[in-house]
């Protein structure tokens, strides 16, 4: 018997269909324009995603990567609140709905889902794509502008993925404060750049000030131990490249690593990881070097050697972004 398709597979095959009817050159030039716009990193006064070609290109080019980044963040969050399943979800600046797919991939079952965005063409395509996932078919796609007047329904979970960089400082503050007032848990994901990390730290501070505790990636809710300007906390999610990717970027790599920064914060009782692996582990002969962010608010390198027995075996299998020591399988 065939296993049911995963959300990732369904998303991939649905996105392949989205580009049908769009001439490849048009899709590639829409992607190039979007990349240039996003590189600008400045708040915009009007939606960047203007028409169907823009959103089809965005969805085909970026959605698999934003989906994987949000899914990785949600998995770390779910590990910290193992008995919890969100009863409702609001995705702000949701665009074509990558985070709704990531939530559906993390927690089985159906829940009320609301996607808010100011770009009507993005909402329309998101609704169309969601038609191929049973848990997302009933989602509500609503036009809303992020700002001081943003009104949110009460919800268990708010996601905000790859949105903060498009907002002014006052709008970022308004968004995080509105999310903290409406939700029990908030997961925010940004690009894994120094600027993305800074926006995450700013949001993290606001969530803590609103009474939330950090569930992931940090092992604590104290200030981040990274000295500003010296480094940035980020992780990587592996994404298979689509044919559009290969067309735009050239080369024949089958995958690339999407770098992202995130914070998952909650009012629920949470058990953050005892420590988080914050760099790719370095495997040497007979030893593994792990760079850890630890519960005592320190960044530390630890060396795990063969003498550590089972822990050494575990260290050879862990990945950047995992908890340390690894969580037991349940």
Ligand X SMILES: C[S@@+](CC[C@H](N)C(=O)[O-])C[C@H]1O[C@@H](n2cnc3c(N)ncnc32)[C@H](O)[C@@H]1O
The first and second tokens of residue 81, run together, are 């609140």
CB 162 within 8 A of CB 262: no
Site for ligand X in 37-56 (CB under 6 A): 47, 49
Q: Which residue in 7, 99, 178, 270 binds ligand X (CB under 6 A)?
A: 99
69 or 275: whose CB is closer to ligand X?
69
Site string for ligand X, 216-255 (x = CB under 6 A): ----------------------------------------
The first and second tokens of residue 89, run together, are 């979800």
Site string for ligand X, 152-191 (x = CB under 6 A): ---------xxx--xx------------------------
98 or 214: whose CB is closer to ligand X?
98
CB 219 within 8 A of CB 295: yes
102 or 214: whose CB is closer to ligand X?
102
100 or 266: whose CB is closer to ligand X?
100
Site string for ligand X, 62-81 (x = CB under 6 A): xx--x---------------
- Torsion angle defined by CA atoms of residues 142, 145, 148 and 154, in that order, rounded to the nearest 10 degrees: 20
117 or 291: whose CB is closer to ligand X?
117
CA distance 265 to 3: 33
The CA distances from residue 8 to 3, 66, 160, 214, 271, in Å, are 13, 12, 19, 27, 27
Closest contact distance (angstroms) between CB of 163 and ligand X is 4
Task: Please provide residue 53's backbone torsions phi and psi, each rounded to the nearest 5 degrees.
Answer: -65, -40
Query: Would residue 291 be called left, alpha or beta, if left means φ above 0 and alpha means ψ between -120 and 50 degrees?
Result: beta
* Among 82, 105, 42, 54, CA closest to 237: 105
Q: Which residue in 80, 146, 180, 214 binds ligand X (CB under 6 A)?
A: 146
Residues that bind ligand X (CB under 6 A): 47, 49, 62-63, 66, 93-95, 98-99, 117-119, 122, 145-146, 161-163, 166-167
């Amino acid at each position: 018997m065939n296993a049911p398709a995963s959300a990732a597979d369904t998303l991939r095959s649905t996105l392949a269909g989205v580009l049908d009817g769009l001439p490849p050159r048009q899709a590639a030039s829409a992607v190039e324009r979007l990349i240039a716009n996003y590189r600008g990193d400045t708040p915009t006064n009007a939606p960047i995603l203007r028409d169907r070609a823009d959103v089809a290109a965005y969805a085909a080019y970026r959605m698999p990567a934003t989906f994987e980044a949000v899914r990785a963040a949600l998995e770390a969050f779910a590990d910290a609140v193992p008995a919890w399943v969100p009863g409702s979800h609001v995705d702000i600046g949701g665009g074509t709905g990558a985070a709704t797919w990531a939530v559906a991939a993390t927690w089985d079952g159906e829940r009320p889902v609301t996607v808010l965005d100011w770009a009507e063409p993005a909402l329309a395509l998101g609704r169309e794509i969601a038609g191929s996932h049973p848990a997302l078919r009933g989602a509500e796609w609503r036009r809303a502008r992020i700002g001081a007047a943003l009104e949110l329904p009460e919800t268990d979970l708010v996601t905000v993925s790859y949105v903060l960089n498009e907002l002014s400082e006052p709008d970022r503050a308004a968004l995080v404060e509105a999310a903290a007032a409406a939700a029990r848990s908030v997961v925010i994901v940004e690009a894994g750049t120094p600027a993305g990390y800074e926006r995450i730290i700013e949001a993290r501070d606001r969530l803590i000030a609103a009474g939330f505790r950090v569930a992931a990636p940090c092992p604590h809710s104290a200030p981040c131990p990274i000295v500003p300007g010296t480094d940035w906390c980020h992780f990587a999610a592996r994404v298979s490249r689509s044919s559009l990717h290969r067309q735009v970027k050239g080369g024949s790599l089958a995958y690339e690593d999407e770098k992202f920064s995130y914070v998952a914060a909650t009012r629920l009782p949470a058990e953050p990881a005892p420590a988080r692996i914050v760099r790719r582990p370095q495997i040497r002969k007979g030893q593994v070097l792990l760079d850890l962010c630890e519960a005592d608010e320190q960044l530390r390198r630890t060396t795990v050697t063969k003498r550590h027995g089972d822990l050494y075996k575990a260290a050879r299998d862990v990945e950047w972004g995992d908890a340390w020591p690894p969580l037991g399988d349940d």
